[in-house]
Amino acid sequence: MDEFNASVMFDKELYLQDIKGSIAHSKMLALQGIITTEDQTKIEEGLLKVKDEIENGDFIWKIEDEDVHMAIENRLTAIIGDAGGRLHTARSRNDQVATDFALYVQDKTLVIKNKLKVLIQTLVDIASKHTDTLIPGMTHLQHAQPINFGFHLMAYANMFKRDFDRFESSYSRNNICPLGSAALAGTPHNIDRFKTAELLGFDSPTLSALDTSSNRDFALEILFNISTSMMHISRLSEELILWSSYEFGFVKISDEYATTSSIMPQKKNPDVPELLRGKTGRVYGNLMSLLTVMKGLPLAYNKDTQEDKEGVFDSVATMEISLDIITAVMDTLIIKVEAMEEACKVGHLSATDLADYLVQKANIPFRKAYYITKDVVELSNSLNKDMSELNINEIRKIDELKDIDKDIIEYLDLRNSMNARDSFGGTSNQRTLEQIDIFKNWLKDN
Amino acid sequence: MDEFNASVMFDKELYLQDIKGSIAHSKMLALQGIITTEDQTKIEEGLLKVKDEIENGDFIWKIEDEDVHMAIENRLTAIIGDAGGRLHTARSRNDQVATDFALYVQDKTLVIKNKLKVLIQTLVDIASKHTDTLIPGMTHLQHAQPINFGFHLMAYANMFKRDFDRFESSYSRNNICPLGSAALAGTPHNIDRFKTAELLGFDSPTLSALDTSSNRDFALEILFNISTSMMHISRLSEELILWSSYEFGFVKISDEYATTSSIMPQKKNPDVPELLRGKTGRVYGNLMSLLTVMKGLPLAYNKDTQEDKEGVFDSVATMEISLDIITAVMDTLIIKVEAMEEACKVGHLSATDLADYLVQKANIPFRKAYYITKDVVELSNSLNKDMSELNINEIRKIDELKDIDKDIIEYLDLRNSMNARDSFGGTSNQRTLEQIDIFKNWLKDN
Amino acid sequence: MDEFNASVMFDKELYLQDIKGSIAHSKMLALQGIITTEDQTKIEEGLLKVKDEIENGDFIWKIEDEDVHMAIENRLTAIIGDAGGRLHTARSRNDQVATDFALYVQDKTLVIKNKLKVLIQTLVDIASKHTDTLIPGMTHLQHAQPINFGFHLMAYANMFKRDFDRFESSYSRNNICPLGSAALAGTPHNIDRFKTAELLGFDSPTLSALDTSSNRDFALEILFNISTSMMHISRLSEELILWSSYEFGFVKISDEYATTSSIMPQKKNPDVPELLRGKTGRVYGNLMSLLTVMKGLPLAYNKDTQEDKEGVFDSVATMEISLDIITAVMDTLIIKVEAMEEACKVGHLSATDLADYLVQKANIPFRKAYYITKDVVELSNSLNKDMSELNINEIRKIDELKDIDKDIIEYLDLRNSMNARDSFGGTSNQRTLEQIDIFKNWLKDN
Amino acid sequence: MDEFNASVMFDKELYLQDIKGSIAHSKMLALQGIITTEDQTKIEEGLLKVKDEIENGDFIWKIEDEDVHMAIENRLTAIIGDAGGRLHTARSRNDQVATDFALYVQDKTLVIKNKLKVLIQTLVDIASKHTDTLIPGMTHLQHAQPINFGFHLMAYANMFKRDFDRFESSYSRNNICPLGSAALAGTPHNIDRFKTAELLGFDSPTLSALDTSSNRDFALEILFNISTSMMHISRLSEELILWSSYEFGFVKISDEYATTSSIMPQKKNPDVPELLRGKTGRVYGNLMSLLTVMKGLPLAYNKDTQEDKEGVFDSVATMEISLDIITAVMDTLIIKVEAMEEACKVGHLSATDLADYLVQKANIPFRKAYYITKDVVELSNSLNKDMSELNINEIRKIDELKDIDKDIIEYLDLRNSMNARDSFGGTSNQRTLEQIDIFKNWLKDN
């Protein structure tokens, strides 16, 4: 029964935030004359001692203490005596737990933002080296148009930057301090909530004590932000798995992040990207869990809300390690430039360019150009060549093209085709470098 | 098979955005000299005609057209001839659908923001009238401390304002224009994506064509924002259901929003809040659906993404009607002030005040005060009274209180107890009015 | 990195199944002459020694061992030498992990079934004592018709029996043995999969080695069954929370399962049912996680699947403790019979009976009867009485009823009203006892 | 507001079940003497007329009718007069809707079971033709061991058979009739619920009227069963997408189910399997929706439950069309046998066989055999050959193998390697045929 009710075995994760919050609260109480400066000093020193004990592994977590807050308060009182009891003046378990949790989410948001930046930097670095490396641009997993590999990686840099922006936005939206809301209705003590907020790095106190005690929007937001970011990681992981298959052969995952089979010496498994892809499931589940918990709860605090933490801890830990790992995988990735370029010669990737040429240069209506292109595709197939490898004589075998200008051959060249897509955000070498520059500047400024 | 593949029967919801997007695209093409001004004029007039046909019900949606984009383009070409074909220059289905969908999400975000404001205004109006109406403040659905009903309602105003802020934030974060990304890699045409973005009210074009074609973060964000907001509505609904039960009897839902039983003439059912509570399920489900769809998709566009729209349409429609309905329910709610106040006399709501009094005025240590309070609770129970109804002589029957100051009685008064919680964000009349003022100013400024 | 890849820190939960599976495998290998009897004996003794070490806490779990299987195998080899290496003949990590996990799910299914039976027994016992205790039957949380409390509890007994049936069904459907499927395609060794299946209590081996290695349907089934069962618990919990509020006052949760506020000595919180209700979220989340993981995985084993276990362990542990706890809460519940019966006098619960009487006895068309009933409701309200408390003279004040037979009064009696609903499955005393008997027989037979 | 409350616009899907249920109810009422035979005849004829009107498109669905039940009842009364009103004797909207919905779920379960059988038959048919077609068996999307394509397809047959079994199981578990439970507590009328159950094809009536009115377990079960089945379809779809890529080139999706790009004449997109994979999201979402709706609902009927239907309708429709489509896609699939076999020569698929040979025939300890195999892998790579293509002289270049028996070459042969895995459920030709036979018999018997 104690085991069922108690949260101390998982919410001890909040010890740092709990101590930080209590020190700030005691300082404010002393400034307001609610406790004496001597008591405040004792409390602060006591709490720092408890912190040391926890970090040295000397602290004994007991299920009877029920939660991290009581565990620390009981130990504090054991160390400093009566003064410890005064710490809980003008606050309740409800606003204390909300504050600790909010601090945790904010702290972790900053950590995640930094890790996202490191990942983006890594992608930008690799992209910089591959703005001229051709790879088949795909839709529907079918070869579509030639793009450069730097351009491909920058798509992910854009996703992770959006994630960064979302974390930044939720951080600033939720940077408000629950402390001082007390159980549900505020307190008769003459506290200064703006001071506590300031001491803890929040922008201001929350506005409604009643709302505060059961508000978990900030927890939902971090769960959602993590879900979206892990979804992006799952997409990159999927591509790494595909690319490292025999069939694609575009990359080799460094031995450190691939696993050898214990019975097949020739086999390397992309375990790491597979696990990353799989971990998307758990963070989706955590989001769904808390949404379910919060549905239909009357005001104000209900014990259901105790179920808010484990999922957040788990999603945060998953996000942190996943970002570290995917960054390391990318950083050590062996890129098989030749295989990528070779693959571009399959699928007549310059077919669109041929049609465009016919429309623009030869003034042929698009519908007709489309059918001529189809003929050229068939011709290429019959010659066992990719369209990009045709010469002018071969092209001219097509009736409608028998008088065609020689420069058509240039348009069919894969690298020319890639560089032709030169609109803002396009794959041309120029535009990819422009995109990379924008990211480099952003990285410098953030 | 056509039925399986085609999306026209649901994505016709996007007709307005599709036409708006095409007009902007044609204007840009003309400005850049890619099409002639004459063609642009024909295209624009043709599209406006199609719009009229759709809005008049004269347009025939055909499954063979596959999607809203082809349906409109085919009709346009039927009306204006060859010029219609030129509209699709320098764009592809991929960036067109992304643009339409982004425009839709942005349009609807503004609509939802407005409806949230109307709801907040309604809550603020009612709250203004009830800052002195007592109601039992609850935690764990147990009476805890006396609060005022205005304060209670303002907790919801705070929730819905957070929702508003989230919609505002996702709006500005996602106010970027996909158009011109083409299929996946940009286009060789000399387009001006900044111009198209400007014409459509976006801040700028998206940065990576490859990322753009399969980015659905903006759709996930609106699904999440709606989920959180519906969760808040489900909590208010739960309270309305509880409050309108015989047992609570705090409110009466207006006859317009309650249903009479067809066999029990005495029975009124809170169908509307129940439905609102139930609809939380569907918007959660829609969020989970799209998260699932996006997991592990390789770049760039995959047909899976066609599954993004129905869920968003459904969640948006649910959000819109739910906001209208909950606003109307609140607006017409009959509030039984006396029943609320009567309920405050159950559960010794001023017990905390007694303990506080003993600590602060009589200098009794909290632990002892707690046990004295417990004795007073038992005394009250034996007298069949609430603690707030005791007189000084009764209080003094408790040994430790036999010399207690008469003013203790004032502290036990429920209204005094409510007003004592005067910290920032607290329930006191003063603080509730302050909170209301902050909201009134915000409403004026937004 | 090791930390990321390794599963040993959570899959050690499977140590018993792993040892059981290995012993059976070794027995079969010996029977088939693939290993010697001496080696088999050594292996079995060694494994039992490892089991002892684990259960005594002497076993050292090391992250380098990666998973529970290697941890045990390495220790086995350390104890018995070379023979240990022969254990892995004709099996692979893939079928081993599938077997361990299947055994775990089967074992736990039996445990859960037993706990469900205990809960059902408890409900039946309480119901037996309250087949004549009136409580307002509600729809829409509004008083509808008088029922007996035993009948009310039996509704939950029915839900939990359905859960039992689902667990029973998934148990028998999934009672098939993965072992011998090897990595993905079977093994060249002359193994006897039927023997291994038999030794492990399975009905037969699985049919397709390829399917087996990535089949996790059995895990999804237990996650779903637990979700549905926790949903039922959440409904009972909701009612316990409502019933123990001041407003309802129908029950008192025993002090052991309610928590006293640390600052409000008069307050008892239904923490336990709230937590139970909240825990519904986590099991829903675990289901959603595994569904997400499995989506779109190509054959056969992929490392994503390693994410299958933690969620199942967590849901199983949640289900087990929740069943124990809800059983204990019900077992010690204080039922306030008088308050329940008193509540029946609010809301004119016999209104339907009056209408029925008028139709059947007085031959008045239903539509008219409905309006007469409405008049009687209003009359009762004006007399400040419940309809069930009216006397014949009062009834006859209604014009249409002025010559009505005296026996109408009996029909308005609440207990008579309850007993009148005597159809199969109805609330009458008789039918409730019949239902209880059916359950008692079922409990005896299962 | 009507629009918000009314369900008629979607629950009209239940018209057939509603009419079927009403006819059975009227028959029972007549048999019990509760209504006259004349009235019953009128009712039945009237209902059949309404059915015709609906099916001919002559019926006008009106939002004011609120739900399908009132729409039909109102029309019935318009047609046959007063007798129509008697139909509602001894039932309530609550048990009527539960009955209609249960009938719908049962009806659709049978339809789905049949479609699953057709799909299984199709897979078995193709498998029968390809028990000797080699394809690389993969784990982690890496070549592992040679298997036959028939064996691969049979893995899916096994999945879909499990789905079939689950639908069968939920069908029989839920084949109980809600009708006669009335609003929540049964009815005073002398009805015969066993008779109604029998007339409707149910095994028996439900046991608790109170439980019945808000039980939606059967709806959750079909949603879960569909989710699992769509998950299986998503896996097959993923493989179809991979296999039809240029890189794999194992299959060609028939032109009917692949889409040509409007600008790239050379490009065929596997739109259909992509859509199937995407549709997994929506059915997961529908499951999550209803789980959310049901969480924490007090007894008995609450309007929240009205949210149960749309998700089930949507999942059922998705399942039906998805089964038809995937069956057709498989049926028309072009299988590139040579490409599959060619792919087997990449990745040294017989490496395990070599190691096994060395252990079993040459009595070399496994650890050493593993390293020899590794050397052979490197040798093959240096010769630009797959291990299966080595000749005896090349093999003997490895020091440890210089005296090796010539028959080693046979063991490296890919087809021999496949056939060597001859354990029950293994990939050998023999075992695959055995598996196919088991399925053929099952198909005959079901």
* SS3 category, A205: strand
Cβ neighbour number for residue B430 with a 10 Å cutoff: 12
Which residue from A97, A66, A206, A146 is spatially nearest to A341, judged by alpha carbons? A146
How many helices (H) and strands (E) would you count in chain A?
20, 8
Task: Provide, as residue numbers in chain A, all residues whose Cβ is less than 8 Å from the Cβ of C5.
Answer: 259, 271-272, 275
| Cβ–Cβ gap B185/A356 under 8 Å | no
User: Which H or E run contains D70?
Assistant: helix D68-80
Task: Provide, as residue numbers in chain B, all residues whose Cβ is less than 8 Å from the Cβ of C247.
Answer: 242, 245, 247-248, 343
Give chain D's contact residues with B (Cβ, < 8 Å). Answer: 1, 3-5, 92-93, 183, 256-257, 259, 262-263, 269-272, 274-275, 277-282, 284-293, 302-307, 310-311, 321, 325, 328
Annotate A333-351 with DSSP letters as a single string.
PEE-HHHHHHHTTTTTTTH
Structure tokens at D223: 């949603």
Which of the residues D204, D208, D245, D261 is marked catalytic?
D261
Angle between helix axes B149-173 and B429-445 (nearest 10 degrees) is 30
For residue D165, what are the CA distances in angstroms to B180, C170, D160?
A: 50, 10, 9
Give the bridge partners for C345, in sequence order. Answer: none
Let me know: does C71 contact C97? Beta carbons within 8 Å: no
Amino acid at the residue D365? P
CA D79/CA D59 separation, integer angstroms? 12
Q: Is B140 among the residues known to form the active site?
A: yes
Handedness of CA A270, A275, A278, A279 (dihedral sign): negative
| Cβ–Cβ gap A265/D370 under 8 Å | yes
| Cβ–Cβ gap C285/A281 under 8 Å | no
CA D291/CA D219 separation, integer angstroms? 10
Q: Which residue of C has its CA nearest to A292?
A: C281
Which residue from A121, A57, A50 is spatially nearest to A327, judged by alpha carbons? A121
Handedness of CA B249, B253, B258, B261 (dihedral sign): positive
Q: Which of D208, D231, D352 sits opposite C155 (nearest CB)?
A: D208
Q: How far is C90 from chain A (nearest CA, A)?
A: 11
H runs (alpha helix) in D174-270:
193-199, 209-214, 217-243
| Cβ–Cβ gap B282/D307 under 8 Å | yes
Q: Taking the mean position of all CA atoms in its chain, how far away is CA B422? A: 30
| D265 — pLDDT class (breaks 50, 70, 90) | confident
| Cβ–Cβ gap D210/C162 under 8 Å | no
E-strand ranges in B236-301 read 251-252, 259-260, 268-269
Q: How far is B234 from chain A (nearest CA, A)?
A: 5
Let me know: does A336 contact A300? Beta carbons within 8 Å: no
How many helices (H) and strands (E) would you count in chain D?
20, 8
pLDDT value, residue D264: 78
pLDDT value, residue B365: 79
| Cβ–Cβ gap D264/A144 under 8 Å | yes
Let me know: does D263 contact B94? Beta carbons within 8 Å: no
CA C429/CA C424 separation, integer angstroms? 12
Q: Is B232 among the residues known to form the active site?
A: no
| Cβ–Cβ gap A290/C281 under 8 Å | yes
- Judge if the upstream peptide bond of residue A339 is cis by omega within 30 degrees of 0: no
Let me know: does B140 contact C271? Beta carbons within 8 Å: yes
* SS3 category, A118: helix
Q: How far is B285 from chain D (nearest CA, A)?
A: 4
Structure tokens at C166: 């689902």
Which residue from B207, B90, B204, B33 is spatially nearest to A421, judged by alpha carbons? B90
Q: What angle do CA D156, D157, D158 make, to 5 degrees?
A: 85
Q: Which of C4, C284, C287 sits opposite A275 (nearest CB)?
A: C4
CA D355/CA D335 separation, integer angstroms? 32
Which residue from D362, D359, D350 is spatially nearest to D419, judged by alpha carbons? D350
Q: Which residue of B has its CA nearest to C245?
A: B142
Which of the residues D69, D140, D143, D262 is marked catalytic?
D140
Handedness of CA B385, B388, B389, B391 (dihedral sign): positive
H runs (alpha helix) in B295-425:
309-331, 337-343, 351-360, 366-383, 392-395, 408-412, 414-420
One pLDDT digit (tens) per residue for chain A, 446 residues: 778 889 999 999 999 999 999 999 999 999 999 999 999 999 999 999 999 999 999 999 999 999 999 999 999 999 999 888 889 889 999 999 999 999 999 999 999 999 999 999 999 999 999 999 999 999 999 999 999 999 999 999 999 999 999 999 999 999 999 999 999 999 999 999 999 999 999 999 999 999 999 999 999 999 999 999 999 999 999 999 999 999 999 999 999 898 887 777 778 999 999 999 999 999 999 999 999 999 999 998 999 999 999 999 999 999 999 999 999 999 999 999 999 999 999 999 999 899 889 988 888 877 788 889 999 999 999 999 999 999 999 999 998 898 889 999 999 999 999 999 999 999 999 999 999 999 999 999 98
CA D280/CA C294 separation, integer angstroms? 11
Mutate to test the interface with D, among C202, C326, C424, C431 (most CBs of D within 10 A): C424
Phi and psi at C205, nearest 5°, equal: -80, 160
Compute the mean pLDDT over every residue in chain D, rounded to the nearest whole number.
Answer: 95
Q: Which of C231, C421, C435 sits opposite D207 (nearest CB)?
A: C435
Which of the residues A152, A261, A262, A388 is marked catalytic?
A261
Which residue from C285, C401, C419 is spatially nearest to C353, judged by alpha carbons? C419
Q: How far is B207 from chain C (nearest CA, A)?
A: 30
Q: How far is D290 from chain B (nearest CA, A)?
A: 6
CA A374/CA A351 separation, integer angstroms? 8
Q: Which of B94, B207, B231 sits opposite A295 (nearest CB)?
A: B231
| C261 — pLDDT class (breaks 50, 70, 90) | confident
pLDDT value, residue A356: 86
Q: How far is C373 from chain B (nearest CA, A)?
A: 7
Count of B-D CB contacts under 8 Å: 120
pLDDT tens for each residue of B83-133:
888 898 899 999 999 999 999 999 999 999 999 999 999 999 999 999 999
Amino acid at the residue A106? Q
Structure tokens at A439: 């990211």
pLDDT tens for each residue of B287-303:
999 999 999 999 989 99
Which residue from C149, C230, C191, C121 is spatially nearest to C418, judged by alpha carbons? C149
| Cβ–Cβ gap C267/B241 under 8 Å | no
CA D408/CA D169 separation, integer angstroms? 50
Annotate C138-174 with DSSP letters as a single string.
EETTEEEEEEEHHHHHHHHHHHHHHHHHHHHHHHHHT
Handedness of CA A211, A212, A217, A219 (dihedral sign): negative
Task: Provide, as residue numbers in chain C, all residues whose Cβ is less than 8 Å from the Cβ of D431.
Answer: 186
Neighbors of chain D by Cβ distance (3+ pairs < 8 Å): A, B, C
Q: How far is D71 from chain C (nearest CA, A)?
A: 18
Task: Provide, as residue numbers in chain D, all residues whose Cβ is less than 8 Å from the Cβ of B262.
Answer: 93
What is the 3-class SS of C265-314, one letter each residue? CCCEECHHHHHHHHHHHHHHHHHHHHHHHHCCCCCCCCHHHHHHHHHHHH
CA A41/CA A51 separation, integer angstroms? 15
Which DSSP letter does residue B333 get?
A: P
Q: Which residue of D has its CA nearest to C188?
A: D421
| Cβ–Cβ gap A281/C257 under 8 Å | no
| Cβ–Cβ gap B295/C295 under 8 Å | yes
pLDDT tens for each residue of C329-382:
999 999 999 999 999 999 999 998 998 899 888 888 777 888 899 999 999 999
| Cβ–Cβ gap B274/D310 under 8 Å | no
| Cβ–Cβ gap A278/C3 under 8 Å | no
Q: How far is A8 from chain D (nearest CA, A)?
A: 26
Report the predicted TM-score, pTM, of the whole model to 2 decimal places: 0.97
Which DSSP letter does residue C98 get?
A: H
Which residue from D408, D83, D31, D368 is spatially nearest to D191, judged by alpha carbons? D31
Q: Please, what's the b/e burial string for C205-235 (b: 16 or more CB within 10 A of its CB; e: otherwise)? A: bbbbbbbbbbbbbbbbbbbbbbbbbbbbbbb
Task: Provide, as residue numbers in chain C, all residues whose Cβ is less than 8 Å from the Cβ of A288.
Answer: 281, 284-285, 288
CA B308/CA B286 separation, integer angstroms? 9
| Cβ–Cβ gap C296/D428 under 8 Å | no
Let me know: does A333 contact A254? Beta carbons within 8 Å: yes
Mutate to test the interface with C, among B135, B138, B142, B387 (most CBs of C within 10 A): B142
Let me know: does A352 contact A427? Beta carbons within 8 Å: no
Which DSSP letter does residue D333 get?
A: P
* SS3 category, D269: strand
Label the pairing between strands D134-139 and C334-335.
unpaired
Percent with pLDDT over 90 in chain C? 88
Give the bridge partners for D176, in sequence order. Answer: D204
List CB contacts of C114: < 8 A, sequence separation 6 or more.
Answer: none
| Cβ–Cβ gap B241/C270 under 8 Å | no
pLDDT at B364 over 90: no
Which residue from C435, C351, A270 is spatially nearest to D138, judged by alpha carbons? A270
pLDDT at B183 over 80: yes
Give the bridge partners for D139, in sequence order. Answer: D142
Angle between helix axes B37-56 and B68-80 (nearest 10 degrees) is 120
pLDDT value, residue C89: 87
pLDDT tens for each residue of B237-289:
999 999 999 999 999 999 989 888 777 777 899 999 999 999 999 999 999 99
Let me know: does A351 contact D266? Beta carbons within 8 Å: yes
Structure tokens at A28: 């404010």
Which DSSP letter does residue A10 get?
A: H
pLDDT at D261 over 80: no
